[in-house]
Structure 1
Amino acid sequence: MDIQAENKKEFGIPKSAMAIFSVASVLFSAHAGGGFATGNQENTYFVSLGWSGIISLVLAMFLLTMTMREAMIMYNKFNLKSHKELFEKLYHPFDKLEILFEVFFDIMVVMAVAAAVSGAASALQQYLGWNYYVSIVIVGAIILCLTIFGAGVVRKASTYMGIAIMFCVLIIYIVGIRKAGNFGVVMSASFARQGFSQVPHAIGNAFTYAGFQCVTLPTMLACGAIFSGNKNHAEAKSMTVSFIMNTIALGLAVIMLMCWQSTYGSSEAGMVLPTLTTLKSMHMGWMMAIYGITLILCLTSTGVTTTFAFVSRFENSKIFSKVENPVKRRMAISAFIIILSMTISLVGLTNIIKYGYGYCGYLAIAIVVIPFLTVGVYKNRKA
């Protein structure tokens, strides 16, 4: 696709604008995964902070999109070919430090895909009454099919899933907030109780949250390569769009769960699946139907983008050099990471998000977020 071909259109929209939106949707679709759809992620990192959780989530999305923006700009500006080269460029003259990202990435991919699998097992079993193993196989098969045909398919799939997810979550969360009708009371009570005591914790959670979301960086580089050679700040525009999408969706999710915290917080099952528990208490069948669609899309979207990040890293490695067919090569890598993640998912969704995501997030603050927002900005501007 020629990003600068303004006169060419797709669905009546200039292809340059579609490219910007599609890359923005990749990050949104990756973020809107199993932890997001179940509400477990929001509850763990933001809801417990009260009113300062709103500040925290906005800061988290700002840090995430700015990090991805600088990473894509550096990748395209210096014509780099892999995220290994990117981190060598970022850390130069300490090139060998790029191994730190490799460690973070490998662990976080397993955690992210495991969260999608665990979310499928927990939610689909309760929501649709499906067999645990059937749910895993179905989600795994969809992820496998969408990750073996390259960045173009991932970008298109993420665009369509992103649009559908955004549409669904807007309906679910806005209706949920209006039905609760107590947002002002909850915020006032939270501020009266906590004051500014939770603000330092909110800032820390923002960095941690943005940190573990950086697992999608290799996927963003592969999809953002479409902007290579473009001089219209397309990377920045795409991340501005992504910031708006992610902040609106996450903000509405957190606000709704704050309003219904007393409902889902009274049981262990409710704490694992806050959104599902909340919607059940509303007794609105059509909302449950929309949530079912959203849940499946969210589980699939994160699984696809994260697994593809792993595939794009290893598909050209020496280990698979004897497999000439690229589709078979990607299939083997995807199958490996999906099976491994299925095993990890047995520890449960809450433990994966609280401990697996948490510790990976701490590491990413030091090796991804801060370096790109300091050294990365300097090197990009200097170039």
Structure 2
Amino acid sequence: MEKSKSKKGMPVFIGIAAVWMGTHFGPGVASGTQLNQYYVQFGLAGIFVTIIAMGFLGYALYCSMEFSRLYQAYDYQTWVEKLFGNKYVVILFDISFLVTILTAASGSMNAVAVLLESNFGVNYWIGVAIIIVCTMLLCAFGARLVRAASSYMMFIVVGILLVIMILLAMNGDGDLSGSIANQAQNLPAAGSGSWLSAIWSAIIYGSFQATIVANIASVAGDLTSRRESKKAAITGFLANTILLIVLCTMLFSYTNVYAITDEALPFFSLLQRLGYESVTVIYIVIVFIAVLSTVVGFAFAGVARFSKYYQPKSGKKSALRDAIFVGIMLIACAVASQIGIVTLVSTGYKILGYLNLPIIVLPAIILGGHKISKKYLRKNRIDAPGVDM
């Protein structure tokens, strides 16, 4: 079997693009909240700048994965040490990841708890407790299942979203032409100066998504050439951008119908307008599963990243300490979830974007781009397999 293909025959560059999409199209996008906050509120300008966000992020990820491939930096700690030449910078990455956990996991919990409360009358805190209990059980007994299922979750979430888009296009009451004509009246942020605001919002969006650098680094070892790295980045850019444009355009088309940008869960509100109860239930189940996958993934990743701070330096690792850490993390996320998904997405992710821009994105582009350049590789006589020197 060719080295450029995965174990099941899928080209490596497609697998890496899927990793990017799997991280991107989670509960935040499935709810539509992220899209409203960072794109739709700016009108047409917001839709077009999705290209800037994904292009900006895609180039940073290309530099990152090519750096990981050339310098054998397949985990975030090695990546940081080889990129910056300083092992202590990794502390900044830990802070960034901690903010990611608190915002993403808390927002995910809030989304499901609100859906359960509004549709089935389940008390908010009982809904949160259900998520915590399921997460703890899966962490204890279903690690392999979750890791296997999470890789396919993106396809399910995207598939359901596309079905919803088709139903809305066929039977919905969206008004795209009216939304374009009246965007200045319907969307305060779409007035004068909206392009500059939209571009900056896109940069911040791309920056908070850059936490995926660690995920990409872990699979970069399967890449065999610079050409494959470019194909992975381009494929991911195209897939993510096209889906973002489709989803944002659908949300935007309803801004002249009702105040959809004020909705905490905009895609759910669109389903309620359609009146398809069966599709609504399927949507809730999919969001619930996606949230579990996300929260459990953060639990495993949190243990992997932070166990160095509470586990003994040598000897047998304590499973109890890991369980206590996960429990504390989930309780903290449960408390933070009360802030609400809109605030967590609009403020929490913005803070994360400002953190990641100087910590991850700019170093990946500037330092990483410099260290993967042919000139630098030749000058320092660095072995560069798969690079046409």
Q: Tell me the distance in 1 between the aligned counterparts of 2:256 and 2:71.
A: 52
Residues 61-111 of structure 1 deviation map (CA, whole Å, 9 limit, x = unaligned): 22223323322332232123532332232234x664443333222222211
User: Which of 22, 30, 46 is matched with 1:53 structurally?
Assistant: 46
User: Which of 214, 221, 240 is matched with 1:218 structurally?
Assistant: 214
Q: 1:323/1:251 Cα in 2 relative to 1: closer, same or farther (>3 Å)?
A: farther
Post-superposition offset of 1:28: 2.0
For 1:187, the equivalent position in structure 2 comes to: 180
Q: Is 1:63 the counterpart of 2:56 in the alignment? A: yes
Post-superposition offset of 1:170: 0.5
Q: Is 1:227 the counterpart of 2:222 in the alignment? A: yes
1:280–1:288 Cα contact (<8 Å) kept: yes
User: Which of 295, 298, 301 is matched with 1:303 structurally?
Assistant: 295
1:216–1:309 Cα contact (<8 Å) kept: no
2:179–2:256 Cα contact (<8 Å) kept: no
For 2:255, the equivalent position in structure 1 comes to: 261
For 1:106, the equivalent position in structure 2 comes to: 98
For 1:271, the equivalent position in structure 2 comes to: 263
Q: Which AA in structure 2 matches 1:373?
A: I
Q: 1:357/1:291 Cα in 2 relative to 1: closer, same or farther (>3 Å)?
A: same
Residues 216-242 of structure 1 deviation map (CA, whole Å, 9 limit, x = unaligned): 3333333x15526x3375444344333
1:22–1:156 Cα contact (<8 Å) kept: no
Q: 1:331/1:58 Cα in 2 relative to 1: closer, same or farther (>3 Å)?
A: farther
Post-superposition offset of 1:215: 2.8
Q: Over aligned residues, Cα RMSD in angstroms?
A: 3.4
Q: Tell me the distance in 2 between the aligned counterparts of 1:134 and 1:33.
A: 23
Secondary structure of the 1:119 match is helix
For 2:194, the equivalent position in structure 1 comes to: 198
Q: Tell me the distance in 2 between the aligned counterparts of 1:64 and 1:303.
A: 24
Q: Tell me the distance in 2 between the aligned counterparts of 1:326 and 1:66.
A: 40
* Equivalent residues, number: 371
User: Which of 186, 205, 208 is matched with 2:204 structurally?
Assistant: 208
Q: Is 1:136 the counterpart of 2:128 in the alignment? A: yes
Q: 1:152/1:317 Cα in 2 relative to 1: closer, same or farther (>3 Å)?
A: farther
Post-superposition offset of 1:359: 1.7
Q: Which AA in structure 2 matches 1:38?
A: S
Q: 1:176/1:107 Cα in 2 relative to 1: closer, same or farther (>3 Å)?
A: same
Secondary structure of the 1:261 match is coil
Equivalence map 1:117-132=2 (5 Å): 117-132=109-124
Q: 1:377/1:142 Cα in 2 relative to 1: closer, same or farther (>3 Å)?
A: farther
For 1:27, the equivalent position in structure 2 comes to: 20
Secondary structure of the 2:121 match is coil
Post-superposition offset of 1:39: 1.7
Q: Which AA in structure 2 matches 1:227?
A: D
Q: Tell me the distance in 2 between the aligned counterparts of 1:251 and 1:128.
A: 32
Q: 1:196/1:307 Cα in 2 relative to 1: closer, same or farther (>3 Å)?
A: farther
For 1:373, the equivalent position in structure 2 comes to: 365
For 2:344, the equivalent position in structure 1 comes to: 352
Q: 1:65/1:155 Cα in 2 relative to 1: closer, same or farther (>3 Å)?
A: farther
Q: 1:251/1:185 Cα in 2 relative to 1: closer, same or farther (>3 Å)?
A: same
Q: Tell me the distance in 1 between the aligned counterparts of 2:259 and 2:349.
A: 21
Post-superposition offset of 1:357: 1.1
User: Which of 281, 287, 290 is matched with 1:289 structurally?
Assistant: 281
Q: Tell me the distance in 1 between the aligned counterparts of 2:143 and 2:202.
A: 29
Q: Which AA in structure 1 matches 2:268?
A: L
Q: Tell me the distance in 1 between the aligned counterparts of 2:7 and 2:365.
A: 34
Structure 2: state its 5+ residue gaps. Answer: 378-389
Q: Is 1:72 the counterpart of 2:65 in the alignment? A: yes
1:33–1:302 Cα contact (<8 Å) kept: yes
Q: Which AA in structure 1 matches 2:202?
A: A
Q: 1:151/1:252 Cα in 2 relative to 1: closer, same or farther (>3 Å)?
A: farther
2:40–2:248 Cα contact (<8 Å) kept: yes
Equivalence map 1:147-166=2 (5 Å): 156-166=148-158
Q: Tell me the distance in 2 between the aligned counterparts of 1:55 and 1:276.
A: 24
Q: Which AA in structure 1 matches 2:3?
A: Q
Q: Tell me the distance in 2 between the aligned counterparts of 1:134 and 1:323.
A: 39
User: Alignment identity in percent?
Assistant: 25
Residues 309-357 of structure 1 deviation map (CA, whole Å, 9 limit, x = unaligned): 3232134556255783687665454333222211211222111111111
Q: Tell me the distance in 2 between the aligned counterparts of 1:118 and 1:306.
A: 16
1:42–1:254 Cα contact (<8 Å) kept: yes
Q: Tell me the distance in 2 between the aligned counterparts of 1:240 and 1:147.
A: 35
For 1:89, the equivalent position in structure 2 comes to: 82
Structure 1: state its 5+ residue gaps. Answer: none
Q: Tell me the distance in 2 between the aligned counterparts of 1:26 and 1:266.
A: 30
